[in-house]
Structure 1
Amino acid sequence: MDVGGYVIYEWTNLHNHDLIDADKVHLLPLFRRIQPSQKALIDLHISSGISQRAMYDTLLRTYGGHSNIGFTHKDLTNYVNVVKRREMAPGDATMMQKCFGTNKQYRPLGIFVGFNYQGTCVFGGALLYEETTTTFKWLFDTFMRCINYKLPQTMMTDQASAIVAALREVLPGVYLDFCAWHIDQNARKKLGARATFMFFEEFNHLIRHVHTEAEFEYGWQRMLVSCFDNKPTSDFKWLQFIYGFRTQWSSAWVKSNFTAAKSTTQLSEQFNAFARYYLKPDYSITEMLRRFQSLVDDLRHNEKAKDFYMQNTSPDNRFKNSLLMCHAALVFTPSVC
């Protein structure tokens, strides 16, 4: 009789495939789902710049292992990618992300770092597309408008020709202090094996430890004679180039200008180490901007905390019998002391 469907004649109560082992059941798609409470925690980790590996490790410890967490590392990766795509809403941010995402290695971030009575502070920052004189002129002019055209006494920078040309046009009269670390690295790159090992010691001495112009000139000539194994130094165009800017990098001239007792190497190393915690080269535009804001917020909070302790505590004075040191402890901040 036709009943318009299927009729069961025989039922075999056996599986036609091997059963999943009990310790692998949690890997079945049916049992994998990121719970709302877990998503909230993951979203918090994303906004804090925590890596996916660290997120997953935290959740593993929270829920007691892989079999209890409810999803895999791949599921976490997929969810994080969805969140990041959702953040890039259509508009200028999307176009900017596409523009910079094409060549991530050429995404210079310029940060204006300075000093106040409590130490390092950030005045501002700009994400640039290219490193040309025109771009830097726009950057410095915009920065000057933001600070109401109050000229700084000194600008610490590297010796890139585009930066120098832009600074001299936008900020005439401001002393340029070239980064000693960059100069040392450029010397190794430009001269390499053509210079003897002693050259880099002599060059470092000229950067950091000479006190007068005469001492510098004597050391420079001695270095040219003794550190190149009689090779003609006139062939080394970089040496001639950097000599032309000697007043911007040698201690014989730098010490006569205001630098808040900070060397460019100190500033670069200290701030770069601090910034690396917040900023990674593979961040999207929105991630980078959010993390940069966190960097600025934390610096400002640290400054407020220092102000609080300065106003409500007494500095540790090891020279309590010295009237001079006691007065200095009252006048200067702990950062200056």
Structure 2
Amino acid sequence: KRDVYVVTNFEPHHNHQLVTPLESPYLRCNRVVRNSDLAQAVAMRRALVRTCQTYEYMVDQCGGYLNVGFQIKDLYNKLDASRREILLDDDTEAALSYLKAKGAMDPEFFCKFSVDEENRLGNLFWRDSTSLLDYIAYGDVLIFDSTYKTNVYDKPLVLFVGSNNYRSTVMFGCALLQDETFETYKWLLETFMASMKDKKPISILTDGDEAMRKAIDDVFPMSNHRLCSWHVSRNAQNNLKDDELVRNFQACIWEPFALDEFEKKWEVLRERARTPKQKEWLEMMYAKSDSWAESCLRGKFFGGMCTTRRVESMNKYVKDYLRKGVKLFECIPAIDRAMLRLRNTTAKDGFNAKYSTPVLKTALTKLEQQASLIYTHRCFVLVRHEIESCSALIHDNVMHNFGGRVYVLSKYGEPHNKWTCVYHGGEKIRIQCGCRKYESEGIPCCHLFYVMKCEHLTEIPPALIMKRWTKSAQTDTCREFISKGEDSTKEVVEMA
């Protein structure tokens, strides 16, 4: 008979029980991760969903563990295999190929790398055209810091960041370094400058690394250099170990004392220092007080920034997308995704500034209304606060001197605090204040608004409107940069 099986021999030692229908999904031949499952897992991984959570989501979609078609270990293995397939000859070549592809799509993309003695990747820097435009508009204050080691090669990641007209963080460039020496930082800063058309920043904020400081002094000798106030304060706690000393030292960090008053405060600190270690540390900090004391830095533009907090916040953005031991070809796209997330926030801020109007609150309606039309929302809130604060001011005396009127102001309830403002009328109105808040932060102080009120001005003088805080900051600044004859391609002009 056909189609009939005949048992000729039975060997019980090389056999096993047949699986039940409920157990069949665990057989290797029945565990298959389909391409659609893999694509979904990869997409969810890019969106910061862990693989174990992705598997649970797939189980929920299919109605149970027996219906999903594979085990969680199979998904991990498939993802690992797909990662290995992306590699061409090695990890570095895959990363450089990714950057080369970005350069092919972006005419102003910039990338530069160096190799070590063994012909391995040493340092790597890159930035795109959006970062260039951001730096042209907001590169007057540069914050950079080397962060944690984010990859399997333990290369330090350096982020160049700043603040835009919405007072949000913008990224100017990224770098992976082989070490943190003076030579490496110098190479990085020179490369950064070459990528930014040699536009130098007015001020720089760092955490105080000695090699970094020397490289900054060498490459940017004319830029103002400020140490992160938070790091300086933390170092004070670690070295002074005396609550009263620490409080007095922190007052020297944050308070805008006059220089003679700062010297008096410092003498008190010296007298209260008891141990040789405290005295030695205080002398060392006094020698570089021009890079951390508010009294010495007042009048130098830092845009209201005194810490590297923006780099720390960028670390949080990047950390969300990076995992310990991540490959180089995964690290760079992850950083790009973090930048896209930042830029989406900036785009939303721009939309809100364009299509919404803040509520007016003060009695100086015309000045406040003009400020609401010129400044972005967050800057307008700061300006409005200064307008509100001018109601508590009193002018003790008005003198005619220096070719204009000199107002001597005090605050209600604090007659010992005095501020001097000089008003110059004419076609180009100028007002200067001794507190130097405008020079330091770019926001007119309450003393300036008080003088505007006394002079019956209905508009903020153009000399007191810093362009980088206005709604049209990027467009106007890029147009000026291009009109100076800088080497910019047609594509960049169109983007600007």
| TM-score using structure 1 length | 0.83
Counterparts of 1:42 and 1:270, CA distance in 2? 28
Counterparts of 1:94 and 1:224, CA distance in 2? 57
The aligned counterpart of 2:156 is 108
Q: Secondary structure at the match of 2:232?
A: helix
The aligned counterpart of 2:194 is 145
Contact 1:153/1:174, CA 8 A, preserved across alignment: yes
Summarize deviations over 1:290-337 as a string: whole Å, max 9, x none: 011112223233323322332233234344872221111001111322
The aligned counterpart of 1:251 is 294
From 245, 251, 260, the counterpart of 1:214: 260
Summarize deviations over 1:32-51 as a string: whole Å, max 9, x none: 11122111111222344433
Summarize deviations over 1:203-246 as a string: whole Å, max 9, x none: 322222242333333333333443x5x3224774x444333221
Closer, same or farther: CA 18–181 of 1 in aligned 2, 3 Å: farther
Counterparts of 1:92 and 1:11, CA distance in 2? 54
The aligned counterpart of 2:372 is 329
The aligned counterpart of 2:74 is 75
Mean Cα deviation higher: 174-183 or 203-212? 203-212
Q: Secondary structure at the match of 1:247?
A: helix
Q: CA deviation at 1:154?
A: 0.5
Closer, same or farther: CA 317–281 of 1 in aligned 2, 3 Å: farther
1:11-50 paired onto structure 2 within 5 Å = 17=16, 24-50=23-49
The aligned counterpart of 2:108 is none
Q: CA deviation at 1:99?
A: 6.8
Instruction: Supply the RMSD in Å over aligned alpha carbons.
Output: 3.3
Counterparts of 1:317 and 1:130, CA distance in 2? 52
Summarize deviations over 1:161-187 as a string: whole Å, max 9, x none: 111111111111100111122223344
From 289, 296, 321, the counterpart of 2:339: 296
Closer, same or farther: CA 38–95 of 1 in aligned 2, 3 Å: closer
Q: CA deviation at 1:281?
A: 4.1
Count of residues in correspondence between the two structures: 325
Closer, same or farther: CA 310–103 of 1 in aligned 2, 3 Å: closer
Closer, same or farther: CA 268–161 of 1 in aligned 2, 3 Å: same
Mean Cα deviation higher: 134-143 or 287-296? 287-296
Contact 1:48/1:291, CA 8 A, preserved across alignment: no
The aligned counterpart of 1:196 is 242
Q: Does 1:121 align with 2:164?
A: no
More strand by share: 2
Closer, same or farther: CA 330–285 of 1 in aligned 2, 3 Å: same
The aligned counterpart of 1:306 is 349
The aligned counterpart of 1:3 is none
Closer, same or farther: CA 216–27 of 1 in aligned 2, 3 Å: farther
Closer, same or farther: CA 312–331 of 1 in aligned 2, 3 Å: same
Closer, same or farther: CA 164–102 of 1 in aligned 2, 3 Å: closer
Closer, same or farther: CA 323–280 of 1 in aligned 2, 3 Å: farther
Mean Cα deviation higher: 153-162 or 61-70? 61-70
Q: Secondary structure at the match of 1:335?
A: helix
Counterparts of 1:241 and 1:83, CA distance in 2? 54
Q: Secondary structure at the match of 1:124?
A: strand
From 319, 333, 338, the counterpart of 1:276: 319
Q: CA deviation at 1:156?
A: 0.7
Contact 2:162/2:310, CA 8 A, preserved across alignment: no
The aligned counterpart of 2:475 is none
Closer, same or farther: CA 136–35 of 1 in aligned 2, 3 Å: same
Percentage of matched positions with identical amino acids: 26
Q: CA deviation at 1:123?
A: 0.9
Counterparts of 1:196 and 1:291, CA distance in 2? 44
Closer, same or farther: CA 210–87 of 1 in aligned 2, 3 Å: same
Closer, same or farther: CA 202–88 of 1 in aligned 2, 3 Å: farther
Q: Does 1:315 align with 2:361?
A: no
Whichever residue aligns with residue 222 of structure 2, its letter is G
From 292, 297, 307, the counterpart of 1:264: 307
Counterparts of 1:21 and 1:211, CA distance in 2? 83
Closer, same or farther: CA 199–268 of 1 in aligned 2, 3 Å: farther
Q: CA deviation at 1:10?
A: 6.2
Show structure 1 runs of 5+ residues with no match: 1-6
From 168, 173, 177, the counterpart of 2:226: 177
The aligned counterpart of 1:4 is none
Higher relative contact order (CA 8 A, sep 6+): 1
Whichever residue aligns with residue 65 of structure 2, its letter is H
From 272, 276, 290, the counterpart of 1:232: 276
Q: Secondary structure at the match of 1:117?
A: coil
Q: Secondary structure at the match of 2:66?
A: helix
Counterparts of 2:332 and 2:222, CA distance in 1? 33
Q: CA deviation at 1:95?
A: 9.3
Q: CA deviation at 1:122?
A: 0.9
Whichever residue aligns with residue 83 of structure 1, its letter is S
The aligned counterpart of 1:134 is 183
Mean Cα deviation higher: 141-150 or 18-27? 18-27
Q: CA deviation at 1:90?
A: 0.9
Q: Secondary structure at the match of 1:67?
A: coil
Q: Secondary structure at the match of 1:214?
A: helix
Q: Secondary structure at the match of 1:159?
A: coil
Contact 2:151/2:325, CA 8 A, preserved across alignment: no
Mean Cα deviation higher: 283-292 or 98-107? 98-107
From 216, 226, 242, the counterpart of 1:167: 216
